[in-house]
Chain A
Amino acid sequence: MEAVKSFYDTPVPARFTGMLSWLITLDHKRIGLMYLFAILFWFLLAVLLGGAIRLELMFPGENIMHADLYNSAFTLHGVIMIFLFIIPALPAVFGNFFLPIHIGADDVYFPKLNLLSWYLYMTGGVIAIVSLFSDGFPDTGWTFYVPFSISTNTNVSTAVFAAFILGFSSMLTGLNFITTIHKMRVKTMGWLQMPLFTWSLYATSWVQLLATPVIAITLVLVMVERFFNVGLFDPARGGDPILYQHLFWIYSHPAVYIMILPGMGVISEIIPVFARKSIFGYKAIVASSMAIAIAGSLVWAHHMYTSGMSDTAVFVFSLLTFVVAIPSAIKVFSWVATLYKGAIQMTPPLFLSLCFIYLFSVGGLTGLVLGAAGANIHVHDTHFVVAHFHFTMFGGTGFAFFAALHYWWPKMFGRMYDFKKAYAAAILVTAGFMLHYVPMFVLGLQGMPRRYYDYLPQYAAGNFFAGFGAMFMILGIGLMMVNLFLSFRRAQISDPDPWGGVTLEWTVPSPPPVHNFVTDPDVLDYPYDFSGVVAGAVNKSRRT
């Protein structure tokens, strides 16, 4: 098997060598990696912006920046993290790379559309940069609430246009994945033999396809309002600002499930592999993914209890919010139950997954506080909310992204990183994370509003500790990235299955060849059947 060429050595015409061969590639694996590097760039930039915000807040009064720069910093942090990192992170990188392999296919159904999505993503990113350097940084928060976003003089239109373009990238990726899953599965693989990561991408893709057009419409309306002063949202011209909030959250609440569902999928892959045991309740996890996608689309106005909408609406949206909590709880129970009587091997991806379960649970449980109508009124728009969504989005999706990087790194690059440094980084990030965000829960309960440049003296202690934790966290992220990239100085690994996984990506060489499969792969009757791996492991230990 030594003559297998990896996808890095794709034969290309002489005119298209080097970088150019990547820029015109239709290979899903290459496109996945191109997303990976672009996304890592944005992620690290937004991390530094977040660090600057925390540094400013570490002490009362002005420390490192003015109020207007601070307002731009949290806006950019939010916009970049949401639209350029969390939404595309797992589907665009790992979905592109592994979804076709997971279902025994050679590529996605529309490879050209896939490349177009990448170009749209890059275009959106470039426009976002342009918005920074012309007419001043946008300063509205990532929510672009009207009428403020219409009246401010900063460059909101360009930033909004960037988000609009990025939306198309997201929609087309969703469309591509849905079609791929329906049409490209190897013939022997039924729906209930698909890996759970693929299932979670399937649920996510539907939300991407159906919810993203709403934000596209909304952002166009904001631009129309800014350029032509029509009076759609601006009450001074007879418009309705609450309409904007509804339209915004009809997309942006489902969007949080676009962000978290693939993360849950990653965890559902990693836990069984290192427990060497079937996932507990496969069908329940599949059903929860779909239930979250559907019910999660019906709870948007729980961001608006204080907005002035009717009490009846508050009742309905609060009730639905508690309904959507259940499928997430089911997943947590299933992951923990999977560990029961397993043969658990601790590795960096598993460690990060366990951190995910803990941090995501905190995020989910504090979401219950926010879902309850009366309790929400006290903590709405405070640091409590900020801590809550960082626990779900960063402790959840972010940690799933880290876990996925560590889990699939040897497959994508054919190199293994150093475990000790990986653990040290994971511990540093997690400990820093807790010190960073737990004080923010307390600050929120004490009443410190979000997006505050300065604060009353009673909030000083919490902000100091949060800033301290943020610095640890950033150090940890830096160490993690350095450690992963140092793996390129190590020898190529030869084992296609270093972890003992049973999904199809572990049957192909690391890194995979240009054509994923020479012949149709054998599909397991039950997708998480580890009996073969267990038997193999026992044989191995007998031999040695």
Chain B
Amino acid sequence: MSDIINPVVLVDRSLYFIIGFSFVFLFAVTLVMIYFVIRYRRSRHPVPADIRGNWKLETAWIFIPTLIALAMFVSGWQAYSGLRTVPEGALEVEVIAQSFSWIFIYPTGKETENELKVPVNTPVKLTITSADVIHSLYIPAFRVKVDAVKGLTTHAWFLPENPGEYFLQCTEFCGVGHADMTGVVQVVSREEFDEWVADDGW
């Protein structure tokens, strides 16, 4: 499965790029502003210059930010495409959101509540809908978020690369139990998963 690009990498790259640039930009603007205020204070610089504009400078600060903004757009779009393009051979899990819990239905017919168990290193495709109001499935570790809307099916996918427990939450306000509508993603070995999913429980 090493040929699949994990969209987490793309999302993080976009986040680092935009936030990193923002820090530099903010630092520069603030520093220049404070320098001007101190350097040109009235007690030291009583007679102001009369500068009303400078078309070269103004053109530069239209074009350069436009290019940077477009680069940011592209990085964001690449990450988004990664999140939307489901690779072949993904495990398909149906998700039904309801006030206030998550139901997961596996291809074998097995159902769980608030617990999504998946095998490691296998892409997982989630097909999501809602039984009542709008909810939104959010798994921060996999940068996955998609709304659950009644009458509409949405999808998302992720690639769990490390075994462990990750949390999932509802991020579309849905009422008094909104903050309790959380669950767990358990990433386990292939063997453990196969055994678990075949056993339809109680």
Contact = CB atoms under 8 A, between A and B. Distances in A.
B151 A235 contact: yes
Nearest to A336: B33
B58 to A, nearest CB: 5
B40 A366 contact: no
Given A336-B32, A343-B40, A354-B33, A318 B11 contact: no
A314 interface: yes
B69 A358 contact: no
Contacts of B40: 275, 339-344
Contacts of B19: 369
A446 interface: yes
A341 B51 contact: yes
B176 A148 contact: no
A284 to B, nearest CB: 5
Contact of A148 (B47, B145, B169, B174): B174
How many interface residues does chain A have, given as a range? 35 or more
Contact of B76 (A71, A240, A308, A372): A372
Interface string A308-348: 10010011001100110110011011101101111111100
A279 B40 CA distance: 15
B73 A319 contact: yes
Q: Which of A276, A339, A375, A541 has the most CB of B within 10 A?
A: A375
Interface in B72-123: 72-73, 75-84
Contacts of B54: 280-281, 337
Interface string A418-448: 0000000000000000000000000001110
B42 A345 contact: yes
Contacts of B144: 377
B161 interface: no
Interface in A368-386: 368-369, 371-378, 380-382
A540 to B, nearest CB: 11
Interface in B34-60: 36-37, 40-42, 45-54, 57-58
Main secondary structure of the interface of A (DSSP, over half): helix
Nearest to A334: B58
B173 A148 contact: yes
Given A308-B152, A326-B66, A449-B138, A365 B49 contact: no
Given A148-B174, A342-B36, A375-B18, A278 B51 contact: yes
A539 interface: no
B22 to A, nearest CB: 4
Given A235-B150, A306-B136, A449-B169, A311 B84 contact: yes
A377 B48 contact: no
Nearest to B59: A284
A373 B149 contact: no
Interface in A184-243: 235-236, 240-242
Nearest to B38: A344
B167 to A, nearest CB: 6
B180 interface: yes
B84 A343 contact: no
Contact of A372 (B26, B50, B79): B79
A280 B65 CA distance: 18
B37 A354 contact: yes
Contact of B140 (A307, A342, A447, A454): A447
Contacts of B189: none
B11 A375 contact: yes
Nearest to B64: A329
B176 A67 contact: yes
B152 A242 contact: yes
Given A284-B58, A306-B145, A306-B147, A447 B169 contact: yes
Contact of A361 (B29, B48, B146, B167): B29
A357 B33 contact: yes
A531 interface: yes
Contacts of A382: 138, 171
Contacts of A305: 80
Nearest to B142: A378
A405 B69 CA distance: 34
A135 B112 CA distance: 37
B5 interface: no
A318 B29 contact: no
Given A235-B149, A275-B48, A281 B30 contact: no
Contacts of B177: 67
B25 A365 contact: yes
Contacts of B49: 277, 340-342
Contact of A332 (B7, B29, B46): B29
A341 B150 contact: no
A282 interface: yes
B171 A456 contact: no
A404 B95 CA distance: 51
Interface string A474-498: 0000000000000000000000000
Contacts of A368: 18, 22, 69, 72
**Residue among A71, A371, A374 facing the most chain B CB atoms (10 A cut-off):** A374
A414 to B, nearest CB: 25
B58 A281 contact: yes
Nearest to B46: A343
B50 A530 contact: yes
A145 interface: yes
Contacts of B77: 315, 318, 372-374
Nearest to B133: A148
Nearest to B65: A329
B37 A377 contact: no
A280 B36 CA distance: 14
A326 B72 CA distance: 13
Contacts of B169: 447, 449, 456
The 8 tightest CB contacts between A and B, nearest first, are A374-B79, A372-B76, A447-B140, A235-B151, A373-B80, A365-B22, A339-B36, A341-B49
10 contacts: A235-B149, A241-B150, A278-B51, A305-B80, A318-B77, A334-B58, A373-B77, A374-B7, A531-B50, A534-B48
Given A341-B40, A344-B45, 4 more contacts: A281-B53, A341-B51, A344-B36, A374-B82
